[in-house]
Structure 1
Amino acid sequence: MTTTLSYQGSPIRFRGAMLNLTDMWQAANRPPNRRPSDWLALEETGRFRTHAGTHASDADDLFAPNAGLAGICHLDTDGLVATVRGHQGGTWAHWQLALTYARYLSPPFHLWCNTVVRTAMQRPDEAPAAGQDPLRAHLDQQFQRLHRRLDILDVLDRHAADLMFLQLSAQDLLLGARRNFSALSQAAITRAVAAEPFGGRCPCCDNAPVLTEAGRPVAGAEFDHFFHRGLNRPEHGWLICADCHIELTRSGYLLRFSHMPRFRAFQAAVLEQRRHSRMRHSSTTE
């Protein structure tokens, strides 16, 4: 049986262990150069499929034995991807592959798929009907827990701006003059911007490109000191577009504080890039 979920009004079909990648691409606002065919052609996707195929167990629901979709015009040899004609048409993939594609499309969509799609696939009898908000059941389950935290969060929110102001004031006294990012720090930041989920786009607005096709900063892009101009390690800054840099510089600490979640996500990407770099270095020296 084919079940349909709804992401911001766009249908996403799944059947058994398979998800419709074409539906996912359309639900994520049809980003250019990120169609299912573009993603499936990537070397990284191929490596994941090879690993998934060699580690599949008897409990894994692969496509061929149980999907039951009519009109299959092409089924890949690993059973993970199929192209289907007709009213159930499009590109279908095993859920493990499909959730990796969701991460490639966008972080918010990936989070939604991890929460809603997997819940629906694990409990097919309770899957929401088409047109019904699939987040409602999950939110209902979490409401009581969140309600108990509201008072604490409200107190923190009211004092967060004051704490940020005190922190910046202390940094001005202790750190003093501006320290530019070194070439090594700039290289680490650039690698993080080039990798997913940023893909060369400004990590602040997630829109304007900040890297050229050759992987160099575009004209006007700035290595921005997020916390203080005296802190210049890779995890203290990011490469952002000219508009974002002007806005953050001129608008003061309150606007910068509002961008903290985006910067934290970028910090995590920088630290992950550095971890991989250390692992590669240690493997070459052994």
Structure 2
Amino acid sequence: MSNVIPLHYQGHQIRFNTDGWLHATEISARFGREPYEWLRLPDTVGYLVALARALGAETKTGIFEELNKINGLDSSKASTQAKILRLSKATGLVKTRAGAPETGGGTWLHPKLAVAFARWLNVDFAVWCDLQIDALLHGGGAIRQHYESACRNLEIGQGKASISASELARWRWRKPGLEHEFDHWRNQLQMTLGFDAA
């Protein structure tokens, strides 16, 4: 996820992006839970299916029927957890990112799912989450645009710096050989033209 905004709830960092997506893995761990536990609940599956249909989510044929089969699965198995995430992601309302939760890796939920998920974690947190998403999506339009622009510029700059750093390292490695080659051919040219080598 790009454009991540860390907010704070009762001393804990909660990450959203500027589009209101919630970093579910990070926050659920603070409440001793996992996103897949919520995603497999019958009410969640029903809500996910209804929301995907209402938003016109482009999904594979049969994905809703597959989602409804989640209810009977044993979520203690890693393969079942992976299937729950795969099916949920197919709706376009759940995203996953590789990496450690501290760096943004994990499960991210669409703003329309985030409050329902937060309610499952803690009612007070759900109210706070709802207010934060509303502010992200509707408040500070010009500031938000400046922030998103700054994020893009930072990402572009980091990409260029990474390329530049690679090129600099490559140059440092190649420089002695190129200088040696330059000196050799300069000396050869000077000898050919009858000049003394410097």
TM score, norm. by length of structure 1: 0.35
Question: Looking at CA atoms only, which structure, 1 or 2, has the larger radius of gyration?
Answer: 2
**Larger % of helix: which?**
2
Which structure would you say has the larger RCO, counting Cα contacts within 8 Å and 6 or more residues apart?
A: 2
Q: Calculate the TM-score normalised by the size of structure 2.
A: 0.49
